[in-house]
């Protein structure tokens, strides 16, 4: 008989395990080259003086089976904070055993205990198994919203911390990014 699933807050000593989970997630999402996190960056951002996020580890059969990394966001419409799930990953050997559901239930309870107005996350469009699973829990897609991201040179340009070069593909004028016309 399988041991029950046990979920505990991650600790600084588990940073190598957390990074292993992140790399496993990146492999699953077909983005292994995107991981630039290091043990040191995770140690600082998760367990430093002012943590940016929290992490929980799920154990099944007393083995690390999965993890969830999350943080609080805020809804101006609700006037309350929410819980945002950045990453959830279950090792392939433990899938189909309720680990993902247990992690989500743990976080849902935490959101309720902390007075959060909602619990949300993103999922890749191609990840049909995850989409079906989330919908089976009662989660609904926010199809009226489009996610935008600034990173790297675009973020630095908007922040005014990067010199623009002739190769940049956008101009910043009056607080609006205007795409350059193609030549």
Is the sign of the CA dihedral 9, 116, 147, 159 positive or negative? negative
Task: Evaluate whether 169 touches 180 at the Cβ level (below 8 Å).
Answer: yes
- Both tokens assigned to 16: 């190598």
Task: Evaluate whether 32 touches 80 at the Cβ level (below 8 Å).
Answer: no
Give the burial class of 176: count Cβ atoms within 10 A of its Cβ; 0-12 exposed, 13-18 middle, 19 or more buried. exposed
- Helices (H), ranges, the chain: 15-28, 39-47, 99-113, 128-136, 152-159
Is 134 known to be catalytic? yes
- Both tokens assigned to 79: 């006037």
163: left (phi over 0), alpha (psi -120 to 50) or beta: beta
Among the listed residues 28, 84, 106, 134, the single catalytic one is 134
Catalytic residue list: 134
């Amino acid at each position: 008989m399988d041991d029950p699933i046990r979920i505990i807050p991650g600790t600084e000593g588990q940073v190598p395990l957390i990074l292993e989970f992140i790399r496993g997630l990146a492999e699953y999402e077909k983005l292994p080259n995107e991981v630039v996190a290091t043990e040191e960056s995770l140690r600082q951002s998760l367990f430093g003086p002012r943590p940016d996020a929290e992490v929980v580890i799920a154990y099944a059969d007393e083995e690390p089976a999965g993890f969830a990394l999350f943080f609080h966001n805020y809804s101006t419409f609700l006037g309350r904070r929410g819980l945002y799930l950045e990453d959830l990953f279950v090792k392939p050997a433990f899938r189909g055993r309720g680990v993902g559901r247990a992690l989500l239930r743990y976080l849902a309870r935490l959101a309720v205990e902390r007075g959060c107005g909602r619990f949300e996350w993103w999922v890749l469009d191609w990840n049909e198994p995850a989409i079906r699973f989330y919908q089976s829990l009662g989660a609904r897609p926010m199809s009226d919203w489009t996610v935008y991201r600034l990173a790297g040179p675009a973020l630095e340009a908007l922040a005014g911390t990067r010199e623009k070069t002739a190769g940049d593909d956008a101009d910043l004028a009056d607080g609006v990014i205007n795409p350059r016309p193609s030549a």
